[in-house]
Amino acid sequence: MKAGIKVNRQQEIGIIDERLYSSFLEHMGRAVYEGVYEPSHKTSDGEGFRQDVSTLCQALKIPMIRYPGGNFVSGYEWQDGIGPKEQRPVRLELAWQSIETNQFGLHEFMNWCQKIGSQAMMAVNLGTRGISEARNLLEYCNFSSGTYWSDLRRKNGQEEPFAIKTWCLGNEMDGPWQIGHKTAEEYGRLAEETAKVMKLVDPTIELVVCGSSFREMPTYGEWEQTVLRHTYEHVDYLSLHQYYGNQEDDIGKYLARAVEMSQFIQEVTDICDQIQKEKQSDKQMMLSFDEWNIWYHTLESDKEQALWQEAPPLLQDIYTFEDALLLGSMLITLLKHADRVKIACLAQLVNVIAPIMTEKEGPAWKQTIYYPFQQVSHYGRGVALATELAVDHYVVEGIGEIPFVDSVTVYQPDDQTLTIFAINRHQTSAMEVELVVEEFVVEGVMGSSELAGYDLKAINTKDQQRVVPCEVENYYLEGQSLQLTLAPLSWNVIRLK
């Protein structure tokens, strides 16, 4: 089959905020304990951080990590995680019904972030706690010295403020499962007042207010409107969360989820713009897609997990080749909305629905989804360019027309290169693509990588990295026109200079 892709260097979607490649570390499952922190592990450093895990995280170039939850944050007492470790309380953790030892807390997280070269995105508890605790935590983290909370931080070994810029006002407060779940009205008011107080403490911070937990929530839409009517002038981002799965084992429908994700982003963008108009505000609300990923492999089996374990093996989805294809497509979607989505957190990072897995006392290893995320995080920085597609489509009920090829191009000003990310969703046919580049002189192809040809259910394991991208010569360059062959069901990264 044939397709056309046209890119013009001057037709920009927008500058890509590098925080599009952020991630998420929640106190749940084996994410923290046995994940990033395992003092007895042979690779652990003096602070108990597994260096094999840190190395895999560094290689993803993650600019920012959301912490400490997730559902966890809505019952969390952040003071439990500071001060001498031997004095920290062991608690019942109610969100995941686990035991929390608090051996890893705020300081450990901040030190670990520094080691792997990431910033923190801190969430405050608006479930069981409120305005006062949010201000105390912010003062502890960001105020220099001379007050109770800032001096306590210094006493606990951190002389300089942590200077955390980005803060989440709670987590998924629309969800009945959330500890301290609220109506839109209740949350809107609380978020408004908390935002005001936090910005009094530190006017330089940025705030993310909770949108819906997912698009199918019964209150979706109304929730966003109500919350924004209260908070519009006090916050900087509205959050989106969404996880996808292939429970129906229908690859065509599964790969269409990236189009559904795009529709979701567009709807939320439209709601923000509607409220901007209502408020006659100059401010354009930006989006923080601070939980996105694939989550379905363990939904049933996790129900069998015993309660009240320390570091229970929860949400340990093992990802397949088809999951990696969808993950790449979702990254294309995020880039296509780079004008409004400024933050996106792949949820999560280690062991819990994660690109990185660890064995207790054993190795750390990369899941299939690690690779497309790594490639886009490396090459998807700069300016997202509008990419015109001429290609056939198929139809998925409830979503609409799904083009067989999806693609976006990124211009990297530093080295003046173009990177084309493309997916071929066709199950049997290779796609002969004519790629035309305008307003950019193509001198050559720097590389072309493909993830293709695997069994849809192929996985990686601790012993074998089977599903990995390969360099291929699937192109022919003639002047400004590049002929590309995209294999059926393939994820592709082509770099031009």
The H-assigned helical ranges of 125-256 are 131-142, 148-155, 184-201, 222-231, 251-255
Q: How far is the CB of 26 from ligand AHR (least distance, A)?
A: 5
Sign of the C-alpha dihedral computed for residues 73, 77, 83 and 88 taken in this order: negative
Does the annotation count 300 as an active-site position? no
The smaller minimum CB distance to ligand AHR, of residues 29 and 382, is found at 29
Nearer to ligand AHR by Cβ, of 70 and 469: the residue is 70
Segment (H or E) for 174: none
Q: Which is nearer to ligand AHR, 150 or 298 (CB)?
A: 298
**Is 314 or 496 the residue whose CB approaches ligand AHR more closely?**
314
Which of 26, 192, 291, 450 is catalytic? The answer is 291
CB of 290: closest distance to ligand AHR in angstroms?
9
> Could you tell me which of 248, 252, 257 has the C-alpha nearest to residue 394?
252
Q: Shortest approach of ligand AHR to residue 44 CB, angstroms?
A: 25
**Closest to ligand AHR by CB, 71 or 409:** 71
Binding site for ligand AHR (CB under 6 A): 26, 69-71, 171-172, 213, 291, 347-348
CA distance 188 to 176: 16
| Bridge partners of residue 390, in order along the sequence | 4
Cα 1 to Cα 22: distance, rounded to the nearest angstrom:
36
Least distance from ligand AHR to the Cβ atom of residue 202, Å: 25
Dihedral sign for Cα atoms in the order 350, 351, 355, 358 = positive
Q: State the residue number with the nearest CB to ligand AHR.
A: 70
Collect all residues with Cβ–Cβ distance below 8 Å to 439 and sequence separation of at least 6.
Answer: 8, 9, 10
CA atoms in the 13 A half-sphere facing the CB of 323: 28
Min separation Cβ 345 and ligand AHR, Å:
9
* 108 among known catalytic residues: no
Spatial CB neighbours of 355, under 8 Å, sequence gap ≥ 6 = 60, 346, 349, 366, 367, 369, 370, 373, 374
Say which of 172, 192, 224, 450 is annotated catalytic: 172
Longest dimension (CA), the chain: 69
Rounded to a whole number of angstroms, the minimum distance from the CB of residue 347 to ligand AHR is 5
Q: Which is nearer to ligand AHR, 168 or 275 (CB)?
A: 168
The one-letter amino acid code at 95 reads: A
Strand pairing partners for 459?
320
Strand 237-244 and strand 206-209: the pairing is parallel
CA distances from 108 to 38, 95, 157, 206 (A): 12, 22, 11, 23
Query: Which amino acid is residue 257, in one-letter code?
Result: R
How far apart CA 288 and CA 265 sit, in angstroms, is 10
Minimum CB distance to ligand AHR, residue 157 (Å): 29
Exposure string over 400-412, b if 16+ CB within 10 A, otherwise e: eebbbbbbbbbbb
Given the complex with ligand AHR, which of 26 and 224 has the nearer CB atom? 26
Pair of tokens at residue 292: 């996105």
In the bound state with ligand AHR, the residue whose beta carbon lies nearer, of 158 and 348, is 348
Smallest gap from Cβ 234 to ligand AHR, in A, equals 22
Q: Which residues are catalytic?
A: 172, 291
